[in-house]
């Protein structure tokens, strides 16, 4: 049967808080299926007050998918698949602090990412999410027709996103950290589970369209980057210690807000294996 879960939408386009579940103890097969359905419907789901030390965090993640490494930053001691996402009191840049879809420069970008809050500032540090299903559906028929079949080139070396991970690479960089990773993906991708179409370019990683220069690509990409994060496509999550977010990387983007200088923020992230966008 699974548990009776309370689902509270947080915005019109995406996002829901799920209550009535202990992620360390309550995930039998039926509840896991129920939770996955809720996640697929809402794009990103949020949980409060979860006691998930690293071993239990990994076990929870494995029930939803295959846990994989993040290519640039080393994981926790003893838990290499858990990435510390940290901003210290003296640092000005935050990790991944722009709108993006996780690691779109990989041939098979992640299906999902999950983040649990360990230490949060007294204010600020929220994360924004944007539905790329809603962004696609709001495009004109003419724009949809033009974008259909177009391919985008995505790179790990795009300057704005590189800057947001420099501090962590200096401290915990992997051997991959200095490599440039690139991948080509359709501008419009079809979700392999829901069948819905989503806009799949992002400011953090998309350089240009295939067979076009960056200069030629810039006007249309600039329009799409602005369009896909319109307020009506977004939701906002305020963290507390023990809060967890699980987002569908195939149809959402996110942006951690960098508005808490002078305070420490510590999060732990797990990434779940995906497939090649189509």
Task: Find tokens 């990412």 and name the residue.
Answer: 113
- Which residues make beta-bridge pairs with 117? 267
Identify whether 28 is part of a domain. yes
Cβ neighbours for 69, distance < 8 A, ≥ 6 positions apart: 75, 80, 81, 271
- Helix segments in the chain, DSSP class H: 29-42, 54-62, 132-137, 141-147, 159-172, 214-227
Given the DSSP bridges, would you call strands 83-87 and 265-272 parallel, antiparallel or unpaired? Answer: antiparallel
Identify whether 278 is part of a domain. no
Low-confidence ranges of the chain (pLDDT < 50): 164-166, 168-169, 172
Task: Find tokens 């799949």 and name the residue.
Answer: 200
Cβ neighbours for 21, distance < 8 A, ≥ 6 positions apart: 3, 5, 27, 31, 35, 47
Rounded Cα distance, 126 and 260, in Å: 10
Rounded Cα distance, 36 and 226, in Å: 30
Identify whether 1 is part of a domain. no
Rounded Cα distance, 63 and 86, in Å: 26
Tell me the torsion sign for CA atoms 155, 158, 160, 165: positive
Identify whether 11 is part of a domain. yes
What positions carry a catalytic annotation? 100, 102, 254, 269
Identify whether 99 is part of a domain. yes
How distant is the alpha carbon of residue 261 from its chain centre? 23
Residue 71, domain CATH? 3.60.130.10
| pLDDT at residue 165, rounded to an integer | 44
Rounded Cα distance, 226 and 252, in Å: 15
| pLDDT at residue 159, rounded to an integer | 58
Structural domain for 144, as ranges: 6-272
Distances 38 to 8, 32, 41, 46, 249 between C-alpha atoms, Å = 11, 10, 5, 11, 15
As given in the structure block, the two tokens for residue 255 are 């942006």
Cβ neighbours for 171, distance < 8 A, ≥ 6 positions apart: none
**pTM for the full predicted model:** 0.93
Identify whether 277 is part of a domain. no
Identify whether 134 is part of a domain. yes
Identify whether 139 is part of a domain. yes
Is residue 130 a contact partner of residue 252, using CB atoms and an 8 Å limit?
A: yes
Distances 185 to 51, 151, 199, 252, 253 between C-alpha atoms, Å = 37, 5, 11, 15, 16
103: left (phi over 0), alpha (psi -120 to 50) or beta: left
Total domains in the fold of the chain: 1
> Quick one: which of 135, 144, 137 has its CA closest to 229?
135
In terms of residues, how long is the chain? 278
């Amino acid at each position: 049967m699974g548990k009776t879960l309370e689902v509270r939408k947080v915005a019109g386009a995406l996002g829901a808080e799920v209550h009535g579940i202990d992620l360390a103890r309550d995930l039998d097969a039926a509840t896991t299926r129920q939770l996955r359905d809720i996640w697929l419907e809402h794009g990103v789901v949020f949980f409060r007050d979860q006691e998930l030390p690293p071993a239990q965090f990994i076990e929870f993640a494995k029930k939803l998918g295959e846990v994989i490494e993040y290519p640039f930053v080393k994981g926790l001691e003893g838990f290499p698949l858990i990435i510390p996402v940290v901003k210290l009191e003296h640092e000005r840049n935050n990790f991944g602090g722009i709108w993006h879809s996780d690691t779109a420069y990989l041939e098979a970008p992640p299906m999902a990412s999950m983040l649990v809050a360990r230490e949060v500032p007294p204010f600020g540090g929220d994360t924004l999410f944007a539905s790329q299903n809603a962004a696609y559906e709001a495009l004109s028929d003419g724009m949809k027709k033009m974008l259909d079949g177009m391919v985008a080139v995505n790179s790990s070396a795009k300057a704005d996103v590189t800057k947001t991970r420099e501090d962590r690479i200096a401290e915990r960089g992997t051997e991959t950290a200095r490599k440039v990773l690139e991948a080509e993906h359709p501008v419009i991708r079809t979700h392999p589970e829901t069948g819905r179409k989503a806009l799949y370019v992002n400011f953090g990683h998309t350089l240009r369209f295939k067979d076009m220069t960056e200069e030629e690509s810039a006007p249309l990409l600039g329009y799409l980057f602005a369009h896909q994060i319109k307020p009506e496509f977004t939701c906002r999550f305020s963290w507390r210690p023990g809060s967890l977010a699980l987002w569908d990387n195939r149809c959402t983007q996110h942006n951690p807000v960098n508005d808490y200088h002078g305070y420490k923020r510590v999060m732990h992230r797990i990434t779940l294996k995906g497939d090649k966008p189509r």
